[in-house]
Amino acid sequence: MKKIIIANWKMNPKTSREAEILARGISEAAKNSKNCEVIIAPPFVHIRAVRSVKLGAQDVFWEKSGPYTGEISTLQLKAYGVSLVLVGHSERRALGETNEEINKKIKAVLESGIKAVLCVGEIEKQKEVAFPVIIHQELKEGLRGINKSLLKNLIVVYEPVWAISTHGKADSPKNVFEMSVLIRRELLKMFGKKTAFSIPIIYGGSVDEKNAADFIKYGRVDGLLVGAASLNAKKFIEIIKRVSEL
């Protein structure tokens, strides 16, 4: 299976011109990599500017159309060729997004045929390896009532909040491996073995060109979610290259 590398640009860059230049810089490396699937999730306003690379989105609303000022639907994203949507990023949860809302979004995304990337992770660093209750809830409530047949388009990101570059330092590949096993076990309890093993689990949190390959090699995850380092074409290309070389 190809490794999934998602760039989460958050609320950057300022102009579509900058977005276009950044995306163009990345597009060749993205196309040349045979074993990586590279997706950029820009802010909605830059979606057109990023068309040289596979497109993702950072959020979505669950209704298809109607009186929802400020929201964007899966239909609209599809019309722009968006193939993947991040759902439940911790920065959105911090703004008040609930597991119930996340569940509605995941359902809408999967039903539309777009890939849904459910973000889960604990807020504080743990002293010992145990499965955090918060991740249990994020998975259970976020994926409640979802038809098993739709889960082939689900990706889970383990992204501990404390490891995001604006909060602290990256997790260790060893811990990422252990947490991904615990997440997989939880998915197994919820959906059975076959489905659980078909869901890619990726890691996010201060991924850069120096640690990217180790998360894949020793953390044994199926891909990476990259924030800050994805806004620097040189660094992001190096991440793609190092993962491609594995």
Stretch that binds ligand PGA, among 30-38, 94-102, 133-141, 201-209 (CB under 6 A): 201-209
From CA 231, how far away is CA 237, in angstroms rounded?
10
Q: Is 143 a binder of ligand PGA (CB under 6 A)?
A: no
From 20, 91, 122, 159, active-site residue:
159
Q: Is 100 a residue of the active site? A: no
From CA 144, how far away is CA 102, in angstroms rounded?
10
One of 29, 120, 155, 164 touching ligand PGA (CB under 6 A): 164
- Is the distance from CB of 3 to CB of 220 less than 8 angstroms? no
Q: Is 46 a residue of the active site? A: no
DSSP string, 142-196: HTTT--GGGGGGEEEEE--GGGSTTTS-PPPHHHHHHHHHHHHHHHHHHH-HHHH
- Is the distance from CB of 200 to CB of 225 less than 8 angstroms? no
Which x/- pattern over 37-76 shows residues binding ligand PGA (rule: CB under 6 A)?
----------------------------------------
From 89, 122, 209, 238, active-site residue:
89
Stretch that binds ligand PGA, among 11-19, 95-103, 195-203, 220-228 (CB under 6 A): 220-228
Which residues contact ligand PGA (rule: CB under 6 A)? Answer: 8, 159, 164-165, 204-207, 225-229
